[in-house]
Amino acid sequence: MHPISKAYLAAACLALAAPAFAQSADERSLPLWEAGVGAFGVTTPAYPGADDRNGRVLALPFLLYRGEVLRADQSGVGARLFRSDKVEFDIGLAGALPSDSDDVEAREGMPDLGTLFEFGPRLKIKLADLSPTSRLRAELPLRAVIEARGGLRRQGWTFEPRLAYELRAPRAPWAFEASASVVFGDQRLNRYFYEVAPQYATASRPAYQADAGLVLARLGLFATRQMNPDLRLFGFVRYESYAGSANRDSPLHQKNSGASAGIGFAWTLARSSRRAAGYEPIDPVTP
């Protein structure tokens, strides 16, 4: 699973841990911590531009912590260094599950795509309150990509400017988010996905040297429904275009578009009586 699509699985795990984001003003002081269990299923392309797909069904525990600085919530795991009414700056960590090259025809005989982590800063800006129930925000994350496979090694950088529209009516059981973003990778990251070294070249897979640049453009829709104070359902769909990719000539680039979808639930088993005073998420769950 590629890091630039961490939302497919890694952030879907965070979605298990996220409270419903349709909250009224007097409900914004949430518990300092919550714990529970959840499960989700997801289907995605094996990597951007792949013809093969990955499907996973996972069940796992979750823990939310809403500290003033340290936090693990719908935005990720990390440290919030600055926050105002309009701007938030944090350092975050996210991850993605591995992809076995033996299960991807185009990569057969090539090294597997290992477990990947992203770490780095993110600037979040609230652009406008469009109505009492909707708002528009921008995110500018810059992340180092680290692979854990026989040790730790850096696999480049990713940058994903993102625009999101959030709709959350007070006390309503449903909440929605629509987003648009583009993903850029440096040469090292794009080599990780699209380069074919001479020793892995075949008659149908010629050697290829990857370039830095655009990886994909993405549109997404996320929804959650609060069934009761402890149980919530969530789901997402996403469309990605790879037609403008900097490495569309790679033999590993086989499709110009791809779609993903996922659905799951989260069940809170315990929460603290202590409130996370003054805490108000600037954004809802985003896969």
Reported as a single tens digit per residue, the pLDDT across 226-246 is 899 899 999 999 999 999 999
Q: Is 281 among the domain residues?
A: no
d(CA 88, CA 13): 23
Average pLDDT (176-189) is: 95
CB atoms inside a 10 Å sphere around CB 110 = 17
The predicted pLDDT at position 23 comes to 39
Q: Is 277 among the domain residues?
A: no
180, 218 Cβ separation under 8 angstroms: yes
The predicted pLDDT at position 252 comes to 96
Mean pLDDT across the chain, nearest whole number?
82
* Residue 180 amino acid letter: A
Q: Is 247 among the domain residues?
A: yes
Q: Is 206 among the domain residues?
A: yes
Q: For position 113, which CATH number holds?
A: 2.40.230
Tens digit of pLDDT for each residue in 30-86?
788 889 999 989 888 888 999 998 888 889 888 888 777 777 665 567 777 888 889
Nearest Cα to 154, choosing from 110, 186, 200?
186
Q: Is 283 among the domain residues?
A: no
d(CA 267, CA 59): 11
Question: C-alpha dihedral over 98, 100, 105, 111, to 10 degrees?
Answer: 100
d(CA 48, CA 79): 29
Residue with tokens 């490495």: 247
Total domains present in the chain: 1
The fraction of the chain above a pLDDT of 90, given in percent, is 49
Q: Is 287 among the domain residues?
A: no
Domain span holding position 165: 3-271
d(CA 237, CA 102): 27
Residue 261 or 169, more confident: 261
- What's the token pair of residue 109? 């005989």
CB atoms inside a 10 Å sphere around CB 272 = 15
pLDDT at 95 over 50: yes
Phi and psi of 172, rounded to 5°? -80, 145
Q: Is 262 among the domain residues?
A: yes
Q: Is 85 among the domain residues?
A: yes
pLDDT at 20 over 60: no
Q: Residue 155: which region, alpha, beta or left (left: phi > 0; alpha: psi -120 to 50)?
A: alpha
